[in-house]
Amino acid sequence: MSLVLGIETSCDETGAGLVRDGVLLGEGLASSADEHVRFGGVVPEVAARAHVSAVVPMVRAAVATAGVSLSDVDAVAVTAGPGLSPALHVGVAAAKAYATALDVPLYGVHHLAGHAAVDVLEHGPLPERCVCLIVSGGHTSLLSLGDLARDPVEHLGDTVDDAAGEAFDKVARLLGLRYPGGPSVSAAALDGDPAAIAFPRPMTGPRDAAFGFSFSGLKTAVARHVEAAQDAGRAVPVPDVAASFQMAVVDVLVRKALRACAERGADTLLMVGGVAANRVLRAEMERACTAAGIVLRVPAPRLCTDNGAMIAALGDLLVRAGIEPAGLATTAVPTVPLSGASVPVPAAEGEAARYPLPTSVAAGSITAS
């Protein structure tokens, strides 16, 4: 069985993972989140510099925890998109270096497909068909999935503006809470009443897209509530605002995910992405799925956020499915839509080979640290 090295650098986490035949053997993860706190969000250039410093140590950490040698790696997978352009380029460059030095295939994979693939490490192969809710800082989508390595991904609905995680970050700033907003808002909500404020449930009306999302208006409703309290000279009830906002987001996600399962006749719901680590969302989704007779699959919280294990898991699926790698033609595509597990390689007009792996580079002629 092939040993696959996965590298993730799409945002502010530098991740490396080693997977063989659906089993996670080792991983390394570093975050530059603390460096972005004073900016209230991720600064691409700061994230990229952090990746440059961390990517080799994280690969070494994954190799060490797996108890293998770097020379044992049979294939490399890397996040090629979507993500922050400077950050993606660091990971792709590193992956090309490793693949060239080791003379192994290189796969450029889609970040969101990686989020779906990571659940395989914990719960085994995905069912033949399932509905997937991806809910993260930059994406909120409902998908219909088949064979993740071979089949195209069908979008049932996506967010038209702010993603759920982005809304958490913006609400955190409104409430004077620390970045990143997801954990901060969730912590503040522990002392609040989720029914204290009747915030709207966006895109749930009879004329709205059944599986579409929009959280910009909800964020605006929170801003108006905070402004009204400040204008009246009242203290902003941060715990109640946080709890009520959080429940509004959770309510929308649960409603639409369950509706998608019902309309598609799916008996399995896969929920992935950074926001899937939210404990209230996990509990409410579990309760609703149990009542509806739907199997809910959610990775452990540590696997929900960006990590190298998910990219290695997706690469492992591609290798086992016999999918052709892109090799050194792999490039970063920051805004690539999710249509399948691999990120398509833009081809120059009239160019057939598109930078194939050079046969003149002998295995071991370049040293990989």
Q: Is 311 annotated as a binding-site member?
A: no
Exposed / middle / buried, residue 351 (Cβ in 10 Å: 0-12, 13-18, 19+)? exposed
Task: Give the tokens for residue 102.
Answer: 């080791």
Q: Is 114 annotated as a binding-site member?
A: no
Output the CA angle 169-30-53, nearest 5 degrees. Answer: 115
Q: Is 155 annotated as a binding-site member?
A: no
Secondary structure (H, E, C), 39-65:
HCCCCHHHHHHHHHHHHHHHHHHHHHH
Q: Is 278 annotated as a binding-site member?
A: yes
Q: Is 135 annotated as a binding-site member?
A: yes
**Dist. CA 177–CA 363, nearest whole Å:** 51
Q: Is 306 annotated as a binding-site member?
A: yes
Task: Kindly give, in sequence order, each residue whose CB lies less than 8 Å from that of residue 352, ignoring residues fewer than 6 positions away.
Answer: none
Give, as one character, the DSSP assignment of residue 23: E
Residue of 83, 113, 97, 73 lying closest to 11 (CA atoms): 83
Q: Is 240 annotated as a binding-site member?
A: no
Q: Is 110 annotated as a binding-site member?
A: no
Q: Classify each residue of 262-284 as buried b or exposed e, where b means 16 or more C-beta atoms within 10 Å of its C-beta.
A: eebebebbbbbbbbbbbebbbeb
**Dist. CA 214–CA 162, nearest whole Å:** 6
Q: Is 115 annotated as a binding-site member?
A: yes
Q: Is 123 annotated as a binding-site member?
A: no
- Per DSSP (E only), the strands in 94-236 are 106-110, 130-135, 140-145, 154-158
Q: Is 342 annotated as a binding-site member?
A: no
Q: Which residues are annotated as a binding site for Fe cation?
A: 111, 115, 306
Q: Which residues are annotated as a binding site?
A: 111, 115, 134-138, 169, 182, 278, 306
Q: Which residues are annotated as a binding site for substrate?
A: 134-138, 169, 182, 278
